[in-house]
Amino acid sequence: MRSWSAPKVPRLPGVGAPLRLFDTAAGEVGPTQPGPTARLYVCGITPYDATHLGHANTYLAFDLVNRLWRDAGHEVHFTQNATDVDDPLLERAEQTGQDWRELAEREIELFRTDMEALRILPPREYVGVTEVIDQVAELIELLRDKGATYDLDGDVYFDVAAAPKFGAVSGYSEERMLDLFGQRGGDPDRAGKKHPLDWLLWRAERPGEPSWPSPFGQGRPGWHIECTAIALANLGSGFDVAGGGSDLIFPHHECGAHEGHVAGGEWPFAKAYVHAGMVALDGEKMSKSKGNLVFVSRLRQETDPMAIRLALLAHHYRSDWEWTADQLASAEVRLARWRSAVGLPAGPEAETVLAELRARMTDDLDAPGALAVVDAWADRALAGGGAEPGAPALVRDIVDALLGVEL
């Protein structure tokens, strides 16, 4: 599919430090160690509703990863999927009497415009699952050849017994896994399964549902295998970061890691599993299924997208937090102050701003710390401190390149 257009990223003097990130599988912050090309996979939307602030927060986090890697001198190969056929999409289309393809296409297009407005760097490959059904089926065949699957009434399951390291990504107890599996699209109670946590790879055609031919008969892919197939095809096994919100830790990233391991023979499938926190509204996680949403496209009608970006940056990417309207008001004030400061003919020297921002951001993306650094510079500049003529322009570039905020 078409990706979206890329904002320009200014080049900064010098080179940033290696990026350190919290890896869920390791349970600690450690250095990312990409080669010349850093490889990033970020799970995309299920396009049955518009982009909300929770999505935006997650994609912003990985946009920062992308920017910090570039600043450290890497090229970044970034791939993203869109889950353009899945139960929730089909259910929504059915409820509202729309064609599921049209619904998906419309929401994906809106997502692109939201991502562009928020200055999220686009993936090199933006792949809809329906574009790669054959690739997904081939991967399932490979898993079948390795003895990792079984058939249940025409559906194909991954046999969790074929994944000796199961649990290694999430670190969750079996009880917690069972609980989350049921809540997040799994079917722990289906009769006939060998183990409650075995997950669906291929779903045989049901009446009224879209389906494609495959070696296992007409049907459609299960959820986790799509990301494994798309990541493998574009990035290969052993890529640097697999990312998404923390609701994807289990089962999605856990299951995907073992599919990739069995298929590619390499462990770990991704060198680091990185997760953004959940954004809530009125005390509950923002989610399309609950409907407690603040849409990016709606907020964009009343404010500058850079204020939205700044409002999100005020939270550490790993924390869970709740959206309130006053956060946007504070972000608007900050944006106006920063714009005034970089519009001055001179200001306090900016090399230390660059060094401090790099230090904050490469330390597990401490965006709130980075905002404080720029705030302090802007305060000094607006108070008439400093006489460096090049400083305002350099701060403008730093904030653009590392935080993605255009002043």
Q: Interface with Zn ion by CB under 5 A: which residues?
A: 43, 227
227 lies in the site for ligand 5CA, by CB under 6 A: yes
Tell me which residues in 350-379 interact with ligand 5CA (CB under 6 A): none
Report the site for ligand 5CA in 44-73 (rule: CB under 6 A).
Answer: 44-46, 54-55, 57-58
> Of 80 and 327, which CB lies nearer to Zn ion in the complex structure?
80
- Nearer to ligand 5CA by Cβ, of 45 and 311: the residue is 45
Cβ contact 198:160 at 8 Å:
yes
What does the alpha-carbon distance between residue 72 and residue 74 come to, in Å, rounded to a whole number?
6
Closest contact distance (angstroms) between CB of 252 and Zn ion is 6
For 37, 168, 231, 240, the CA distances from 31, given in Å and listed in that order, are: 16, 19, 22, 11
290, 283 Cβ separation under 8 angstroms: no
Applying the rule CB under 6 A, the residues between 260 and 289 that interact with ligand 5CA are 276, 278-279, 285-287
Among 84, 247, 254, 397, contact with ligand 5CA (rule: CB under 6 A): 247
Question: Least distance from C-beta 70 to Zn ion, angstroms?
Answer: 23
Which residue of the chain is nearest Zn ion when measured via CB?
Answer: 43
Q: Between 174 and 320, whose beta carbon lies closer to ligand 5CA?
A: 320
Tell me the C-alpha distance between 152 and 149, whole Å: 10
Please say which residue, 21 or 391, places its beta carbon nearer to ligand 5CA: 21
Least distance from Zn ion to the Cβ atom of residue 397, Å: 34
- Candidates 32, 83, 130, 149; binder of ligand 5CA (CB under 6 A) is 83
Residue 17 C-beta-side C-alpha neighbours within 13 Å: 16
Binding partner of residue 278 among Zn ion, ligand 5CA, none, CB cut-off 5 to 8 Å per kind: ligand 5CA
Which does residue 45 touch among Zn ion, ligand 5CA, none (CB within 5 to 8 A, set by kind)?
ligand 5CA
Q: Strands across the sheet with 284-285, in order? A: 284-285, 279-281, 321-322
Residue 279 partner contact from Zn ion, ligand 5CA, none using kind-dependent CB cut-offs of 5 to 8 Å: ligand 5CA
* Size of the residue set binding ligand 5CA (CB under 6 A): 21
Give contact residues for ligand 5CA (rule: CB under 6 A): 43-46, 54-55, 57-58, 81, 83, 227, 244-245, 247-248, 276, 278-279, 285-287
